[in-house]
A and B are shown apart, each in its own frame.
Chain A
């Protein structure tokens, strides 16, 4: 708890000095989303609504092979028979799925830019405003960036170096064209289309996303990063990401996102599939900052995501780390299927809700192989009228001899109008399994803030400090530059209050 903290800067933008700690909490929580702006670009969009015809058009515009069109249509037909899940502790008006645009692409570059020079300058400026100077970031941090803007990838860097290692890192659409055999082999093998209502929808209409393939024995020499952004009005986003690490391969993938302010709720239903073969390791980190809606919860993003990793091979390792501060509603349970013997699954999560945000998130660890191990570390922060629910499932199947799980689930309350809930579920079907669960709830007290303020520390910094301290074990799992970003994000989101 010492060394890490000093490298992480808890400072926030200066805010008017509040007279009292109560007021301070109040003022802090009033802070508004700073990434709220909209880029003006012409979109080449399909009209609203969903039908087999729309799906055919999406597939045709993307020049997809027949098998993929069939797959989409089959998914669509399954979707038609399904109903949205109702069990999550979130509330929102019913979504009109015919009132959504299922495809839009930046018009100016039909074929996609070959380099950053070809990227729409307006888009680049958008990234700048968000503090994501693409080329700078890429150059300084040595990160390969694959930016998804609306539904089409517009920039990919470092491809060449990666290519020398036999690594494929490209947009999903591109992978469909260049490596259809890989897509066909792995797509839907972790999250079958009919897994749930939103995965079926995504499988029918997914627009784009990222594709990563690390061949046998290759350690990816750099962290792979994607910035997602929702832009065109009324455009649902349906990303599809597929990451495959062959035997002995390893990769660290970073996903970060932020969206402009808008009036209507936007549906976002991504599917992410990870596949790790023998001795492979995949580390997937997310910092999520989509527009959460205004103080009354109007206009935020609905984020209904299915993320699942398959430790298919022996001794494989999949690790999810997420920092969730955005969206009006988050419904998300990154999971790991521990199929291979001695495989390892981790889930490290920070979820923050403020104002009227609702998060129902957690994980599933499905132990199938022998001596499989999993760790769940969840930190939920609720502020304002935010509601935060953790749902964890640890399942040990009859074959999973010697399976072990450790779950720790902590909640921090800021103010007294927010809520935190924890629903752990444990299903153990093997007597040798060892499952441990710990949970705590604490509240940032007025006395703590007064103590800090009496030492000259502003209430914002004090809250930030406490929240960051609370999240430290999770931040430790993030790649360095992401950890710093995550801290800033928590600050902004509680204003922004954790460092």
Chain B
């Protein structure tokens, strides 16, 4: 399980996370909502280990390990996956090549045999079918020239291939048509299991119709200001974020995550 305590982080001297607390138990799916600029992506990137974000205070315990002390790629190899809000294009590197390198890096870590080209192709083609991606995407450069929705599917494809223990999905639903949304949700739901935890960042409660979260948290100015069950998302949908700001922040206490 993941235990984030009093997390402070800044970028270029600007404070973005201000004492964030969050606990996600194994097998749980937590949704994070919050206005633009409240720090949702920052949280995601800090968890994944992006250097530009400096952690100034606080701790993140992941199954007894100090997550913040681990190098980026080791976090990934240990099973942390981030579906990027803005997936990055890597011209000249084929998606197939990239995916195979990623899968094998993680299989090595888990003490499994590396896939050879044949094994890998069989596996990736099956997963692509499941997320509705044409095979041609294997042979195109990573995310280069992909449409917004295609990039998001490619993130879900990677998540399915890498079978993470902790998945953070940063607005994977944004820019998706309704069919793609269902595919993404299915992808997430297929991975749901007692050993896996997920953090789903979204602006739309609609996604939560398909991925039913155990808890919903609202982030504002770098802190969790409200936590609750699925109904919290509906409330937000109805009233917007304005009403949260007017209330005294229950922050830490509320976020310590008694289950709904």
Contact = CB atoms under 8 A, between A and B. Distances in A.
B116 to A, nearest CB: 9
Given A2-B139, A6-B97, A455 B51 contact: no
B90 interface: yes
Given A10-B101, A19-B71, A457-B102, A451 B88 contact: yes
Contacts of A22: 51
Interface in A16-59: 17-23
A461 B88 contact: no
Interface in A411-461: 442, 445-448, 450-459, 461
Contact of A456 (B77, B87, B90): B77
B198 interface: no
B76 A1 contact: no
Contacts of B51: 19-23, 446, 450
B109 A454 contact: no
Contacts of B96: 2, 5-6
Given A1-B141, A456-B106, A469 B92 contact: yes
Interface residues of B, number: 38
Contacts of B138: 2
B117 A466 contact: no
Nearest to A455: B102
Interface SS, B side: helix
A453 B93 contact: no
B72 A21 contact: yes
Contact of A469 (B77, B88, B91): B91
A19 B72 contact: yes
Contacts of A79: none
A22 B88 CA distance: 17
| Residue of B49, B77, B87, B90 with most chain A CB atoms under a 10 A cut-off | B90
A391 interface: no
Contact of B105 (A1, A445, A455, A470): A455
A205 to B, nearest CB: 43
B162 interface: yes
Range of interface residues on A (Cβ < 8 Å): 20 to 34
Contact of B71 (A6, A18, A470): A18
| Residue of A6, A22, A470, A472 with most chain B CB atoms under a 10 A cut-off | A6
Contacts of A6: 96-97, 100, 117
A469 B71 contact: no
Nearest to B117: A6
B27 to A, nearest CB: 23
A413 to B, nearest CB: 13
A457 B98 CA distance: 9
Contacts of B71: 17-20, 453
Nearest to A440: B91
Given A6-B117, A451-B88, A465 B98 contact: yes
Contacts of A472: 92
Interface in A315-367: none
Interface of A: 1-2, 5-6, 10, 17-23, 442, 445-448, 450-459, 461, 465-466, 469-470, 472
